Structure 1
Amino acid sequence: MSSNTVLVTGVSGFLGSHVVDQLLEAGYKVRGTARSTKVSHLQESYKSFGDRFQIAVVDDISTNDFSEAVTGVDAIIHVATPFPGSTSAEAVLKGAVDGTTRVLDAAVVAGVHKIIITSSIVGLVSPSQLGTSVVIDETCSSDMTYEQAILPGVDPLVVYSASKALADKATWEYAKRHPELDIAAIYPPILWGPTGRGQVVDGPVSGTNKFIYALITGQKGRPVEPMNAGATFCNVLDTARAHVNALKLPKSDKPKRIIPNAGEYTYVRAVRYLARTRPELRDRLPVVDVEEQEIPPHATFDNTTAKAVGLNVYISFEETVGAVIDGAVRREKELGITPQI
């Protein structure tokens, strides 16, 4: 057990909510940042923890002052980041880069040295490399630029990749200027898994879980969705565990860059698993007429560094899919949603 207080940014989000849950379970106190519109939901979600969970309102990570939020904390886990689609490419880039540097600035002033930052595997590789057989490890860096991300009609993945790449570059440049800081960065692939206690979800699922939910929504008799070039995943619970365990890593002269990656997946595997284990959903599943799905050429991510934070065994793809689907079906009933079959 620990009495330390950890500041977590973005606690109403998918990953942030699970980081909070695991910190509280481990005995930490948590101060979470969230937009003012999310405060009442979070207060209700965590009321059983009393003063072990506090909220600091931060409506805009790229402009708001973090000095009050970091006062009195022992460590910071910076998860919050804007996503393409809800705002402009320029705002996504500004939020990712300026949000990170503002957190680091506040940490330096407050004398908080232990900092964990959420990045992404696309912070280590450019989108053009995702469809190649390149092997990516903790020594790699993306060459994405601001100019590429603001081109008219640019793919949202390019915007997100650039935001993570530029924020990652800014992080390690900042670390060189402030050697007193003890920074670790986490680079997960696509995340799936159960909804977190404090997560704000308006429908059966949200965010990346929509890709899994799509397996039981859609026209009857439809084919399985084709695979994309990513083809690797990690359960959100494992990724949250990587963040929490990284707090105990010793300071190092080399950048601590952790890549949690549970391995490859296919939608055919998911459909076969659901048909076998949840027969009541068979009529909602797509048609499978192949033994296995072909995975396009894709980048391989070396997850050796994740062993340092206890990720020797990962939650399986099947268990991950089951958790997402079970949660979605439960939410459908709560919301009064009748599936169209």
Structure 2
Amino acid sequence: MLPKNYAIRPGSRLLVTGASGYIASHVVNILLQLGYFVRGTVRTEKPWLDKFFADRYPKDRYESVIVPAMEEEDAFEKHMKDVASDTTLRPEPDTWNDGVLKAAWSEAVPLEKKPYIVYAAAKTAAERQAWSWVAENQPGFDFNVVVPNINFGRLLTPNVPAPSMRMTRNILHGDSKAINTFPLKWFVDVEDDARIHVAALLDPTVKLKRIFAFAAPQN
């Protein structure tokens, strides 16, 4: 797709939440490569993130803003000023993971599996709430959703102990516990996942979509 056909003109400023995360940091990197200005939200100061992008891109192309508690009302509002963004969604009713919501409350689930189950349930509940909000409020922007399976692949900053990158780092150091924590399923390369996120944002033909990202089974 040619830049002239992007839904958002290169040179615009985009907001990426959780910019220091494993997937989001790659999303930011791709957007900067494409010529966008990026404002990334972080919970606390991340000087290593600012340095990584400052060393590779022109000055002022990337900026971090701190959102310490995203659950607070209007936590992101002031950071949305002068930001361009266009995405949309219409959920498919048969693709919900209703089982994980029930499992999160079930006393029959082994205690050691609870953290993973609760994490997955939180993702499902949050996404469903987002769809409900869009359906009720009919906002004037498009809203696509990317649903990736487990991510592996390159760390932008291998020596930085960011929590969302811990599992991949542990695997590279031979820690099998990182794999055993999760049931066998499909995986996707983190850079491919980031490309899908960017495509969902910039491709004007992608509207009202829930996009699944996976490449092959892990074993």
TM, length-normalised to structure 2: 0.77
CA contact (8 A) 2:187 2:218 kept: yes
User: In the alignment, which of 148, 170, 194 is matched to residue 129 of structure 2?
Assistant: 170
Aligned to 2:13: 5
Shift of 1:238: 0.3
- Give RMSD over aligned pairs: 3.3
- Residue aligned with 1:259, SS: strand
Which SS does the other structure have where 1:36 is aligned? Answer: coil
Structure 1 distance, partners of 2:102, 2:72, is 19
How far did 1:142 drift? Answer: 1.7
Question: For the Cα contact (< 8 Å) 2:88–2:141, is it kept in 1?
Answer: no
Task: Quote the residue 1:234 is aligned against.
Answer: 188
| 1:84-120 residue CA offsets vs partner (Å, 9 max, x unmatched) | xxxxxxxxxxxxxxxxxxxxxxxxxxxxxx2489xxx
Aligned residues: 199
State how far apart, in whole Å, the 1-side matches of 2:88 and 2:118 are.
Answer: 23
8 Å CA contact retained: 1:182, 1:251: no
Query: 1:13 touches 1:200 (CA, 8 Å); kept in 2?
Result: no
Q: 1:46 corresponds to which residue?
A: 53
Residue 69 of structure 2 aligns to a residue whose secondary structure is coil
Cα drift, residue 173 of structure 1: 0.5
Per the TM alignment, residue 211 of structure 1 is displaced from its structure 2 partner at its CA by: 6.0
Query: 1:30 touches 1:52 (CA, 8 Å); kept in 2?
Result: yes
Cα 1:43/1:257, change in 2 over 3 Å? same
Gaps of 5+ in 1: 76-113, 118-123, 125-136, 219-224, 267-341
User: How far is the alpha carbon of 1:52 from its aligned partner?
Assistant: 1.0
The match for 1:201 among 146, 154, 160 is 160
| Correspondence list, 1:37-116, <5 A | 37-38=45-46, 40-48=47-55, 49=57, 50-63=59-72, 65-75=75-85, 114-115=86-87
Amino acid at match of 1:155: K
Contact 2:101–2:121 at 8 Å: present in 1 too? yes
Give the counterpart letter for 1:190 in structure 2: I
Question: Structure 1 length normalisation: TM-score?
Answer: 0.51
Amino acid at match of 1:261: F
Residue of structure 2 equivalent to 1:191 = 151
**What secondary structure does 1:32 align onto?**
strand
Percent identity, aligned pairs only, is 27
Match of 2:17, as an amino acid? Answer: T
Match of 1:141 among 67, 71, 96: 96
Asked whether the equivalents of residues 190 and 208 of structure 1 are also in contact (C-alpha less than 8 Å), the reply is no
1:138–1:20 distance in 2 versus 1, CA, 3 Å: farther
CA contact (8 A) 1:5 1:74 kept: yes
Counterpart CA distance in 2 for 1:163 and 1:200 is 29
Structure 1 residue 147, shift from structure 2 partner:
8.9
Q: Is the 8 A contact 2:45 2:66 kept in 1?
A: no
Q: Aligned-pair distance for 1:177?
A: 1.6
- 1:175 is displaced (CA, Å) by 1.2
Aligned residue identity for 2:104: Q
Instruction: Tell me, yes or no, if the aligned pair for 1:8 and 1:32 is still in contact at 8 Å.
Output: yes
Task: Tell me the equivalent position of 1:246.
Answer: 200
The higher radius of gyration belongs to 1
- Aligned 8 A contact 2:20 2:42 in 1: yes
Alignment of 1:329-340 (within 5 A): none
Aligned 8 A contact 2:88 2:209 in 1: no
Aligned 8 A contact 1:19 1:243 in 2: yes
Deviation at 1:226, TM superposition (A): 7.0
CA deviations 1:167-216 (Å, max 9, x no partner) are 1111111111232331110111110011125x87239x9333156325x3
**C-alpha spacing 1:60/1:226, structure 2 compared with 1 (3 Å):** closer
1:256 alignment partner in structure 2: 209
Q: 1:71 to 1:228 in 2, by over 3 A?
A: closer
- What 5-or-longer segments of structure 2 have no aligned partner? 4-9
C-alpha distance in 1 between matches for 2:143 and 2:205: 8
Q: Which amino acid aligns with 1:71?
A: K
